[in-house]
Structure 1
Protein backbone atom coordinates (compact mmCIF):
# COMPACT_ATOMS: atom_id res chain seq x y z
CA UNK A 1 0.00 0.00 0.00
CA UNK A 2 1.45 3.30 -1.09
CA UNK A 3 2.13 5.81 1.63
CA UNK A 4 0.49 9.18 1.35
CA UNK A 5 2.94 11.97 0.63
CA UNK A 6 3.39 14.37 3.47
CA UNK A 7 2.88 17.99 2.65
CA UNK A 8 5.91 20.14 3.35
CA UNK A 9 5.39 22.22 6.46
CA UNK A 10 5.39 25.94 6.00
CA UNK A 11 7.33 27.53 8.79
CA UNK A 12 7.20 31.24 9.18
CA UNK A 13 10.54 32.94 9.57
CA UNK A 14 11.06 34.08 13.11
CA UNK A 15 10.91 37.85 13.36
CA UNK A 16 14.17 39.45 14.40
CA UNK A 17 13.92 41.89 17.27
CA UNK A 18 16.49 44.46 18.32
CA UNK A 19 17.24 46.14 21.60
CA UNK A 20 16.60 49.91 21.80
CA UNK A 21 20.35 50.51 21.57
CA UNK A 22 20.68 48.28 18.50
CA UNK A 23 17.74 50.02 16.81
CA UNK A 24 19.28 53.43 17.54
CA UNK A 25 22.55 52.20 16.04
CA UNK A 26 20.71 51.05 12.91
CA UNK A 27 18.85 54.36 12.59
CA UNK A 28 22.05 56.38 12.93
CA UNK A 29 23.84 54.23 10.35
CA UNK A 30 21.15 55.26 7.85
CA UNK A 31 21.86 58.93 8.56
CA UNK A 32 25.64 58.53 8.28
CA UNK A 33 27.47 55.22 7.73
CA UNK A 34 29.97 55.61 10.56
CA UNK A 35 29.85 52.74 13.05
CA UNK A 36 31.81 54.54 15.77
CA UNK A 37 29.57 57.60 15.65
CA UNK A 38 26.40 55.49 15.57
CA UNK A 39 27.48 53.41 18.56
CA UNK A 40 28.35 56.48 20.65
CA UNK A 41 24.90 57.92 19.96
CA UNK A 42 23.32 54.61 20.96
CA UNK A 43 25.52 54.38 24.07
CA UNK A 44 26.33 57.98 25.12
CA UNK A 45 28.21 56.82 28.24
CA UNK A 46 30.88 54.83 26.36
CA UNK A 47 34.34 56.03 25.39
CA UNK A 48 35.54 56.56 21.84
CA UNK A 49 37.76 53.45 21.98
CA UNK A 50 34.87 51.31 23.20
CA UNK A 51 32.56 52.71 20.53
CA UNK A 52 35.08 51.88 17.82
CA UNK A 53 35.40 48.27 18.99
CA UNK A 54 31.75 47.60 19.81
CA UNK A 55 30.53 49.39 16.69
CA UNK A 56 32.58 46.96 14.62
CA UNK A 57 30.94 44.06 16.46
CA UNK A 58 27.50 45.47 15.71
CA UNK A 59 28.34 45.65 12.00
CA UNK A 60 29.58 42.05 12.09
CA UNK A 61 26.18 40.91 13.34
CA UNK A 62 24.33 39.57 10.24
CA UNK A 63 20.90 40.59 11.57
CA UNK A 64 21.98 44.19 12.18
CA UNK A 65 23.85 44.32 8.88
CA UNK A 66 20.83 43.02 6.94
CA UNK A 67 18.49 45.45 8.70
CA UNK A 68 20.71 48.41 7.78
CA UNK A 69 20.81 47.31 4.15
CA UNK A 70 17.04 46.78 4.03
CA UNK A 71 16.44 50.23 5.52
CA UNK A 72 18.77 51.82 2.97
CA UNK A 73 17.00 50.06 0.11
CA UNK A 74 13.61 51.25 1.38
CA UNK A 75 14.89 54.81 1.78
CA UNK A 76 16.37 54.74 -1.71
CA UNK A 77 13.03 53.57 -3.15
CA UNK A 78 11.17 56.39 -1.35
CA UNK A 79 13.52 59.11 -2.54
CA UNK A 80 13.95 57.54 -6.00
CA UNK A 81 17.64 58.41 -6.02
CA UNK A 82 19.51 56.09 -8.34
CA UNK A 83 23.24 55.42 -8.29
CA UNK A 84 23.49 56.15 -12.02
CA UNK A 85 21.99 59.62 -11.52
CA UNK A 86 24.47 60.45 -8.76
CA UNK A 87 27.39 59.21 -10.84
CA UNK A 88 26.21 61.35 -13.76
CA UNK A 89 26.10 64.48 -11.57
CA UNK A 90 29.59 63.69 -10.28
CA UNK A 91 30.82 63.26 -13.86
CA UNK A 92 29.35 66.58 -14.96
CA UNK A 93 30.86 68.46 -12.01
CA UNK A 94 34.24 66.80 -12.48
CA UNK A 95 34.61 67.34 -16.21
CA UNK A 96 32.83 70.68 -16.70
CA UNK A 97 34.88 73.31 -18.53
CA UNK A 98 35.25 76.60 -16.63
CA UNK A 99 35.51 78.47 -19.94
CA UNK A 100 31.75 77.95 -20.31
CA UNK A 101 31.30 80.56 -17.56
CA UNK A 102 32.79 83.30 -19.75
CA UNK A 103 32.16 84.94 -23.08
CA UNK A 104 34.40 84.25 -26.05
CA UNK A 105 36.95 86.80 -24.78
CA UNK A 106 37.58 84.54 -21.77
CA UNK A 107 37.19 87.46 -19.34
CA UNK A 108 33.58 88.66 -19.32
CA UNK A 109 31.27 86.44 -17.24
CA UNK A 110 28.35 85.04 -19.20
CA UNK A 111 24.74 85.63 -18.15
CA UNK A 112 23.57 82.67 -16.08
CA UNK A 113 21.04 81.68 -18.75
CA UNK A 114 23.81 81.16 -21.29
CA UNK A 115 25.84 78.84 -19.06
CA UNK A 116 25.36 75.13 -19.94
CA UNK A 117 23.32 73.17 -17.33
CA UNK A 118 26.19 70.81 -16.47
CA UNK A 119 28.45 73.80 -15.70
CA UNK A 120 25.75 75.55 -13.66
CA UNK A 121 25.89 72.64 -11.18
CA UNK A 122 29.32 73.92 -10.13
CA UNK A 123 28.01 77.40 -9.20
CA UNK A 124 27.40 78.08 -5.50
CA UNK A 125 26.46 81.77 -5.85
CA UNK A 126 26.45 84.65 -8.29
CA UNK A 127 27.50 88.24 -7.58
CA UNK A 128 25.59 90.81 -9.60
CA UNK A 129 26.51 94.49 -9.84
CA UNK A 130 24.28 97.33 -10.99
CA UNK A 131 25.98 99.56 -13.51
CA UNK A 132 24.62 103.07 -14.05
CA UNK A 133 25.48 104.96 -17.23
CA UNK A 134 24.59 108.62 -17.74
CA UNK A 135 24.42 110.03 -21.22
CA UNK A 136 24.31 113.79 -21.76
CA UNK A 137 22.81 115.35 -24.89
CA UNK A 138 22.53 119.09 -25.75
CA UNK A 139 19.53 120.00 -27.88
CA UNK A 140 18.81 123.63 -28.82
CA UNK A 141 19.86 125.04 -25.49
CA UNK A 142 18.44 122.17 -23.49
CA UNK A 143 20.69 119.76 -21.64
CA UNK A 144 19.19 116.29 -21.42
CA UNK A 145 20.70 113.60 -19.25
CA UNK A 146 19.67 109.99 -19.81
CA UNK A 147 20.43 107.53 -17.04
CA UNK A 148 20.54 103.81 -17.79
CA UNK A 149 20.99 101.16 -15.10
CA UNK A 150 21.88 97.60 -16.01
CA UNK A 151 22.71 94.48 -14.02
CA UNK A 152 25.80 92.51 -14.86
CA UNK A 153 27.35 89.38 -13.38
CA UNK A 154 30.79 90.20 -12.05
CA UNK A 155 31.60 87.06 -10.10
CA UNK A 156 30.79 83.34 -9.98
CA UNK A 157 31.53 81.45 -6.78
CA UNK A 158 31.99 77.71 -7.22
CA UNK A 159 31.39 74.92 -4.75
CA UNK A 160 34.69 74.06 -3.00
CA UNK A 161 33.56 70.46 -2.61
CA UNK A 162 30.20 68.77 -3.28
CA UNK A 163 29.51 67.70 0.33
CA UNK A 164 25.90 66.82 -0.43
CA UNK A 165 27.10 64.59 -3.23
CA UNK A 166 29.47 62.83 -0.83
CA UNK A 167 26.54 61.99 1.44
CA UNK A 168 24.62 60.58 -1.51
CA UNK A 169 27.56 58.39 -2.45
CA UNK A 170 27.59 57.01 1.09
CA UNK A 171 23.79 56.63 1.12
CA UNK A 172 23.85 54.60 -2.08
CA UNK A 173 26.62 52.35 -0.81
CA UNK A 174 29.15 53.66 -3.33
CA UNK A 175 31.52 54.19 -0.42
CA UNK A 176 31.80 51.82 2.50
CA UNK A 177 33.54 52.02 5.85
CA UNK A 178 35.74 48.99 6.54
CA UNK A 179 35.93 48.55 10.30
CA UNK A 180 38.98 46.98 12.02
CA UNK A 181 36.93 43.90 12.94
CA UNK A 182 35.67 43.51 9.37
CA UNK A 183 39.25 43.76 8.09
CA UNK A 184 40.26 40.99 10.48
CA UNK A 185 37.34 38.77 9.45
CA UNK A 186 38.18 39.24 5.77
CA UNK A 187 41.74 38.12 6.46
CA UNK A 188 40.61 34.84 8.06
CA UNK A 189 39.87 31.65 6.09
CA UNK A 190 36.22 31.77 4.89
CA UNK A 191 35.05 28.88 7.10
CA UNK A 192 36.63 30.30 10.26
CA UNK A 193 35.40 33.79 9.40
CA UNK A 194 31.83 32.50 9.12
CA UNK A 195 32.11 30.72 12.47
CA UNK A 196 33.29 33.93 14.14
CA UNK A 197 30.44 35.90 12.55
CA UNK A 198 27.90 33.38 13.82
CA UNK A 199 29.43 33.52 17.29
CA UNK A 200 29.23 37.33 17.31
CA UNK A 201 25.62 37.19 16.13
CA UNK A 202 24.62 35.02 19.09
CA UNK A 203 23.39 36.34 22.44
CA UNK A 204 25.94 37.89 24.77
CA UNK A 205 26.54 36.08 28.07
CA UNK A 206 28.02 37.37 31.32
CA UNK A 207 31.56 36.45 32.26
CA UNK A 208 31.83 32.74 32.99
CA UNK A 209 28.50 31.96 31.35
CA UNK A 210 29.39 31.95 27.67
CA UNK A 211 28.12 29.02 25.63
CA UNK A 212 30.95 29.44 23.13
CA UNK A 213 34.10 27.48 23.80
CA UNK A 214 37.38 27.81 21.99
CA UNK A 215 39.46 24.78 21.01
CA UNK A 216 42.40 24.00 18.82
CA UNK A 217 42.63 21.57 15.96
CA UNK A 218 45.39 19.04 15.53
CA UNK A 219 47.33 21.57 13.49
CA UNK A 220 47.17 24.09 16.30
CA UNK A 221 44.85 26.60 14.57
CA UNK A 222 42.00 28.01 16.68
CA UNK A 223 38.41 27.00 16.02
CA UNK A 224 35.09 28.25 17.35
CA UNK A 225 32.26 25.95 18.38
CA UNK A 226 28.72 26.92 19.19
Structure 2
Protein backbone atom coordinates (compact mmCIF):
# COMPACT_ATOMS: atom_id res chain seq x y z
CA UNK A 1 0.00 0.00 0.00
CA UNK A 2 1.45 3.35 -1.04
CA UNK A 3 1.97 5.99 1.63
CA UNK A 4 -0.34 8.97 1.80
CA UNK A 5 0.79 12.48 1.07
CA UNK A 6 0.41 14.96 3.97
CA UNK A 7 -2.62 16.42 2.21
CA UNK A 8 -4.24 13.01 1.79
CA UNK A 9 -3.56 12.18 5.43
CA UNK A 10 -5.20 15.45 6.44
CA UNK A 11 -8.22 14.48 4.33
CA UNK A 12 -8.47 11.13 6.16
CA UNK A 13 -8.34 12.87 9.54
CA UNK A 14 -10.96 15.43 8.51
CA UNK A 15 -13.22 12.83 6.90
CA UNK A 16 -13.48 10.92 10.18
CA UNK A 17 -14.82 14.05 11.90
CA UNK A 18 -18.19 14.07 10.10
CA UNK A 19 -17.88 11.53 7.23
CA UNK A 20 -18.48 14.34 4.74
CA UNK A 21 -16.02 13.89 1.87
CA UNK A 22 -16.62 17.31 0.33
CA UNK A 23 -16.14 19.23 3.56
CA UNK A 24 -13.16 17.08 4.47
CA UNK A 25 -11.52 17.92 1.14
CA UNK A 26 -12.10 21.63 1.73
CA UNK A 27 -10.66 21.49 5.25
CA UNK A 28 -7.71 19.50 3.94
CA UNK A 29 -6.85 22.33 1.56
CA UNK A 30 -8.31 21.14 -1.75
CA UNK A 31 -9.97 23.61 -4.09
CA UNK A 32 -13.43 24.70 -3.01
CA UNK A 33 -14.59 24.51 -6.63
CA UNK A 34 -13.53 20.86 -7.07
CA UNK A 35 -13.93 19.66 -3.47
CA UNK A 36 -16.89 17.41 -4.26
CA UNK A 37 -15.04 15.68 -7.07
CA UNK A 38 -11.81 15.48 -5.09
CA UNK A 39 -13.58 13.97 -2.08
CA UNK A 40 -15.13 11.20 -4.17
CA UNK A 41 -11.85 10.52 -5.95
CA UNK A 42 -9.92 10.29 -2.70
CA UNK A 43 -12.40 7.87 -1.13
CA UNK A 44 -12.09 5.67 -4.22
CA UNK A 45 -8.31 5.57 -3.89
CA UNK A 46 -7.22 2.26 -2.35
CA UNK A 47 -4.59 3.74 -0.03
CA UNK A 48 -6.98 6.40 1.30
CA UNK A 49 -9.80 3.89 1.74
CA UNK A 50 -7.45 1.59 3.66
CA UNK A 51 -6.30 4.46 5.89
CA UNK A 52 -9.90 5.44 6.69
CA UNK A 53 -10.79 1.82 7.51
CA UNK A 54 -7.70 1.43 9.69
CA UNK A 55 -8.55 4.54 11.71
CA UNK A 56 -12.19 3.51 12.06
CA UNK A 57 -11.08 0.09 13.33
CA UNK A 58 -8.74 1.77 15.80
CA UNK A 59 -11.50 4.08 17.08
CA UNK A 60 -13.96 1.18 17.35
CA UNK A 61 -11.47 -0.85 19.36
CA UNK A 62 -10.70 2.11 21.62
CA UNK A 63 -14.40 2.71 22.31
CA UNK A 64 -15.10 -1.04 22.57
CA UNK A 65 -17.66 -0.82 19.75
CA UNK A 66 -18.33 -4.31 18.42
CA UNK A 67 -20.97 -5.85 16.17
CA UNK A 68 -22.29 -7.73 19.19
CA UNK A 69 -22.87 -4.50 21.14
CA UNK A 70 -24.58 -2.85 18.18
CA UNK A 71 -26.90 -5.83 17.68
CA UNK A 72 -27.63 -5.88 21.42
CA UNK A 73 -28.61 -2.19 21.43
CA UNK A 74 -30.83 -2.63 18.37
CA UNK A 75 -32.53 -5.59 20.06
CA UNK A 76 -33.26 -3.51 23.18
CA UNK A 77 -35.10 -0.98 21.02
CA UNK A 78 -36.71 -3.41 18.61
CA UNK A 79 -38.20 -5.64 21.30
CA UNK A 80 -39.12 -2.98 23.86
CA UNK A 81 -42.65 -3.37 25.21
CA UNK A 82 -44.98 -0.64 26.48
CA UNK A 83 -45.90 -2.84 29.43
CA UNK A 84 -42.36 -2.41 30.72
CA UNK A 85 -43.15 1.25 31.39
CA UNK A 86 -46.86 1.35 32.21
CA UNK A 87 -49.18 -0.22 34.77
CA UNK A 88 -52.96 -0.10 35.32
CA UNK A 89 -54.81 0.83 38.52
CA UNK A 90 -57.87 -0.96 39.92
CA UNK A 91 -60.11 0.89 37.47
CA UNK A 92 -57.95 -0.12 34.54
CA UNK A 93 -56.55 3.38 33.97
CA UNK A 94 -52.91 3.41 32.82
CA UNK A 95 -50.12 5.17 34.65
CA UNK A 96 -46.37 5.29 34.20
CA UNK A 97 -44.15 3.34 36.54
CA UNK A 98 -40.40 3.66 36.08
CA UNK A 99 -39.57 2.34 39.56
CA UNK A 100 -38.43 -1.05 38.31
CA UNK A 101 -36.91 0.13 35.04
CA UNK A 102 -33.75 -1.75 34.12
CA UNK A 103 -30.78 -0.30 32.24
CA UNK A 104 -31.76 -2.38 29.21
CA UNK A 105 -35.33 -1.07 29.24
CA UNK A 106 -34.12 2.51 29.67
CA UNK A 107 -32.01 2.11 26.51
CA UNK A 108 -35.22 2.04 24.44
CA UNK A 109 -36.39 5.43 25.75
CA UNK A 110 -35.91 8.32 23.36
CA UNK A 111 -37.52 11.04 25.46
CA UNK A 112 -39.12 11.59 28.88
CA UNK A 113 -40.93 14.86 29.61
CA UNK A 114 -42.25 15.83 33.06
CA UNK A 115 -44.73 18.69 33.44
CA UNK A 116 -46.11 19.97 36.78
CA UNK A 117 -49.28 22.08 36.84
CA UNK A 118 -52.44 22.80 38.85
CA UNK A 119 -55.74 21.33 37.77
CA UNK A 120 -58.74 23.48 38.75
CA UNK A 121 -58.97 26.71 40.73
CA UNK A 122 -59.16 27.84 44.33
CA UNK A 123 -59.56 25.29 47.09
CA UNK A 124 -60.44 22.52 44.66
CA UNK A 125 -57.21 22.92 42.70
CA UNK A 126 -54.86 19.98 42.83
CA UNK A 127 -51.25 19.48 41.88
CA UNK A 128 -50.82 17.26 38.86
CA UNK A 129 -47.72 15.80 37.31
CA UNK A 130 -47.92 14.79 33.66
CA UNK A 131 -45.26 12.46 32.36
CA UNK A 132 -44.84 11.83 28.66
CA UNK A 133 -42.39 9.38 27.18
CA UNK A 134 -41.46 8.19 23.72
CA UNK A 135 -39.63 5.08 22.61
CA UNK A 136 -37.04 4.97 19.86
CA UNK A 137 -38.30 3.87 16.44
CA UNK A 138 -38.97 0.15 16.91
CA UNK A 139 -39.63 -0.55 13.25
CA UNK A 140 -36.35 1.04 12.13
CA UNK A 141 -34.45 -0.90 14.79
CA UNK A 142 -36.06 -4.19 13.71
CA UNK A 143 -35.26 -3.49 10.05
CA UNK A 144 -31.64 -2.62 10.87
CA UNK A 145 -31.38 -5.72 13.05
CA UNK A 146 -32.86 -7.93 10.32
CA UNK A 147 -30.48 -6.54 7.73
CA UNK A 148 -27.51 -7.02 10.03
CA UNK A 149 -28.50 -10.66 10.50
CA UNK A 150 -28.96 -11.15 6.75
CA UNK A 151 -32.72 -11.61 6.93
CA UNK A 152 -33.52 -9.00 4.27
CA UNK A 153 -31.30 -9.61 1.27
CA UNK A 154 -31.75 -7.36 -1.73
CA UNK A 155 -31.74 -8.43 -5.36
CA UNK A 156 -30.97 -5.95 -8.11
CA UNK A 157 -32.25 -6.81 -11.58
CA UNK A 158 -31.31 -5.00 -14.79
CA UNK A 159 -33.77 -5.25 -17.66
CA UNK A 160 -34.06 -3.62 -21.03
CA UNK A 161 -36.89 -5.50 -22.69
CA UNK A 162 -37.90 -4.55 -26.21
CA UNK A 163 -35.06 -2.08 -26.43
CA UNK A 164 -36.47 -0.02 -23.57
CA UNK A 165 -34.40 1.75 -20.92
CA UNK A 166 -32.62 -0.31 -18.29
CA UNK A 167 -34.54 -0.37 -15.05
CA UNK A 168 -33.05 -1.03 -11.63
CA UNK A 169 -35.30 -2.80 -9.17
CA UNK A 170 -34.58 -3.66 -5.55
CA UNK A 171 -36.55 -6.51 -4.05
CA UNK A 172 -36.53 -7.99 -0.57
CA UNK A 173 -35.82 -11.71 -0.45
CA UNK A 174 -37.95 -13.52 2.13
CA UNK A 175 -37.00 -17.04 1.00
CA UNK A 176 -35.42 -17.63 4.41
CA UNK A 177 -38.93 -17.84 5.91
CA UNK A 178 -39.52 -21.15 4.11
CA UNK A 179 -36.81 -22.71 6.25
CA UNK A 180 -38.59 -21.85 9.51
CA UNK A 181 -40.58 -24.43 11.42
CA UNK A 182 -44.26 -23.84 12.10
CA UNK A 183 -43.50 -22.84 15.70
CA UNK A 184 -40.80 -20.44 14.52
CA UNK A 185 -43.19 -18.85 12.02
CA UNK A 186 -45.83 -18.46 14.73
CA UNK A 187 -43.26 -16.85 17.04
CA UNK A 188 -42.13 -14.47 14.29
CA UNK A 189 -45.76 -13.54 13.57
CA UNK A 190 -46.32 -12.69 17.25
CA UNK A 191 -43.13 -10.58 17.38
CA UNK A 192 -44.04 -8.60 14.27
CA UNK A 193 -47.62 -8.10 15.45
CA UNK A 194 -46.44 -6.80 18.81
CA UNK A 195 -43.85 -4.57 17.13
CA UNK A 196 -46.52 -3.05 14.87
CA UNK A 197 -48.84 -2.45 17.84
CA UNK A 198 -46.06 -0.91 19.92
CA UNK A 199 -45.03 1.33 17.02
CA UNK A 200 -48.58 2.63 16.77
CA UNK A 201 -48.40 3.56 20.45
CA UNK A 202 -44.74 4.62 20.58
CA UNK A 203 -45.64 7.69 22.64
CA UNK A 204 -47.40 7.16 25.95
CA UNK A 205 -48.92 9.90 28.08
CA UNK A 206 -50.33 9.61 31.56
CA UNK A 207 -51.41 12.27 34.03
CA UNK A 208 -51.30 11.54 37.72
CA UNK A 209 -51.68 13.66 40.88
CA UNK A 210 -48.46 14.15 42.86
CA UNK A 211 -48.05 11.41 45.37
CA UNK A 212 -50.32 9.09 43.38
CA UNK A 213 -49.31 5.95 41.54
CA UNK A 214 -46.70 6.44 38.88
TM-score normalized with structure 1 length: 0.47
TM-score normalized with structure 2 length: 0.49
